[in-house]
């Protein structure tokens, strides 16, 4: 296929066609997520798009197919890439040919954030501190499976509401709250609000929560989370949502203390195939 980035018209046509296949990641993303991807396959057997996932820093395939062999045949000589939204039935086969688990992101909801009140003044991230915020997330890279840190560009896109996911769910009020020690920012929480038309009330989306390793185990993450929930309540949110990897026990413990409950049936499996993995 061509080497040009996919156009919105092409994406809409492919998105419609992808619904005919048994397995697809395309139902979970919008054009904003894939505007810099290229189409590497589009026929009756498979749809395959390739590009860089800016959030994770990996090159990635988005796909639609009914038989896994078609995906494997297109990627068998490729390494260092990510695939997301994998169904359980495919995991064992993928592991047998050299794929490795990257993360299992589970949905967590707090269905009533009305108890969060009387917070201190909110401290929003300024333009001049985008680099510091990025550095904090990069310092936490690898502390949680699947967390790769965030670039300055990602930080800017989150605050502007221009990242692909925010556009797809019509998120508003995007901001990043900070916690400082002796004038230095040491922790951040990325938040926004969506679901304004829901009968159950708007939802605070808690994105990345990161505290520099030098300042961890001081209760800063809990303070940031409380600040985020207070901000959500003061800006019309009734509920809160986040995602956490199943192996991130420390973070999950904090979230549960803040009233979040994991959904046993809603999770996203992501896998990677790396050059240094041993082929089966």
Q: What was the pLDDT predicted at 2?
A: 55
Give 183-221 pLDDT, tens digit per residue.
Answer: 999 999 999 999 988 999 999 999 999 999 999 999 999
Which residues, in sequence order, are bridge partners of residue 267?
Answer: 106
What is the enclosing helix (H) or strand (E) of 29?
none
| 120 and 199 together in one domain | yes
Q: What is the mean pLDDT of the chain?
A: 91
Give 17-50 pLDDT, tens digit per residue.
Answer: 999 999 999 999 888 889 999 999 999 999 999 9
The DSSP code for 27 is: G
Does residue 97 fall inside a structural domain?
Answer: no
Residue 279 reports pLDDT greater than 50 = no
| 77 and 38 together in one domain | yes
Does residue 3 fall inside a structural domain?
Answer: no
| 58 and 147 together in one domain | no
Q: What was the pLDDT predicted at 280?
A: 33
Q: What was the pLDDT predicted at 152?
A: 94
Domain count, the chain: 2
Residue 74 reports pLDDT greater than 90 = yes
Angstrom distance (rounded) from CA 12 to CA 31? 8
As a whole number, mean pLDDT of residues 52-78 equals: 90
pLDDT band, residue 235 (cuts 50/70/90): very high
Does residue 101 fall inside a structural domain?
Answer: no
Residue 272 reports pLDDT greater than 90 = yes
pLDDT band, residue 261 (cuts 50/70/90): very high
What distance separates the 2 farthest-apart alpha carbons in the chain? 60
pTM for the predicted model, two decimal places: 0.84
Q: What was the pLDDT predicted at 170?
A: 77
Does residue 152 fall inside a structural domain?
Answer: yes
Percent of the chain with pLDDT over 70: 95
CATH assignment of the domain containing 204: 3.40.630.30
Angstrom distance (rounded) from CA 89 to CA 128? 46
Give pairs for 179-186: CB < 8 Å, separation 24+: 179/123, 179/211, 179/220, 179/223, 179/224, 179/227, 180/123, 181/215, 185/125, 185/129, 185/132, 185/133, 185/136, 186/136, 186/211, 186/212, 186/214, 186/215, 186/220
Boundaries of domain holding 246: 108-266
| 76 and 126 together in one domain | no
Of 222 and 163, which is predicted with more confidence? Answer: 222
| 177 and 235 together in one domain | yes
Angstrom distance (rounded) from CA 93 to CA 274? 16
Q: What was the pLDDT predicted at 278?
A: 42
Residue 91 reports pLDDT greater than 60 = yes
> How many Cβ atoms are within 10 Å of 265's Cβ, its own excluded?
7
Q: What was the pLDDT predicted at 189?
A: 98
Nearest alpha carbon to residue 119 among 222, 268, 31, 259: 222
Give 104-147 pLDDT, tens digit per residue.
Answer: 999 999 999 998 876 778 999 999 999 999 999 999 998 888 88
| 114 and 78 together in one domain | no
| 28 and 154 together in one domain | no
């Amino acid at each position: 296929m061509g080497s040009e980035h996919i156009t919105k018209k092409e994406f809409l046509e492919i998105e419609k066609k992808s619904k005919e296949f048994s397995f697809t990641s395309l139902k979970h993303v919008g054009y904003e997520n894939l505007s810099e991807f290229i189409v590497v396959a589009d026929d009756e057997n498979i749809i395959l798009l390739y590009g860089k996932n800016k959030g994770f820093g990996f090159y990635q395939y988005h796909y639609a197919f009914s038989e896994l062999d078609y995906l494997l045949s297109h990627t068998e000589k490729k390494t260092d890439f990510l695939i997301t939204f994998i169904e359980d039935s495919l995991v064992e086969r993928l592991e047998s040919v050299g794929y490795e688990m990257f993360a299992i992101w589970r949905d967590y909801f707090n269905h009533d954030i009305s108890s969060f009140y009387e917070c201190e003044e909110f401290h929003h991230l300024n333009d001049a501190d985008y680099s510091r915020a990025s550095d904090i997330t990069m310092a936490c890279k690898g502390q949680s499976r699947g967390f790769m840190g965030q670039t300055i560009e990602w930080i800017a896109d989150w605050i502007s509401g221009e990242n692909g996911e925010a556009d797809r769910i019509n998120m508003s009020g995007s901001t990043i709250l900070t916690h400082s020690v002796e004038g230095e920012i040491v922790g951040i929480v990325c938040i926004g609000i969506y679901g304004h038309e829901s009968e159950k009330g708007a939802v605070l989306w808690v994105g990345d929560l990161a505290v520099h390793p030098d300042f961890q185990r001081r209760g800063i993450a809990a303070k940031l989370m409380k600040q985020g929930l207070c901000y959500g309540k003061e800006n019309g949110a009734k509920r809160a949502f986040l995602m956490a990897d199943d192996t991130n026990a420390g973070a999950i413990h904090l979230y549960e203390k803040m009233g979040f409950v994991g959904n046993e049936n809603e999770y996203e499996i992501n896998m990677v195939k790396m050059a240094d993995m041993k082929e089966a």
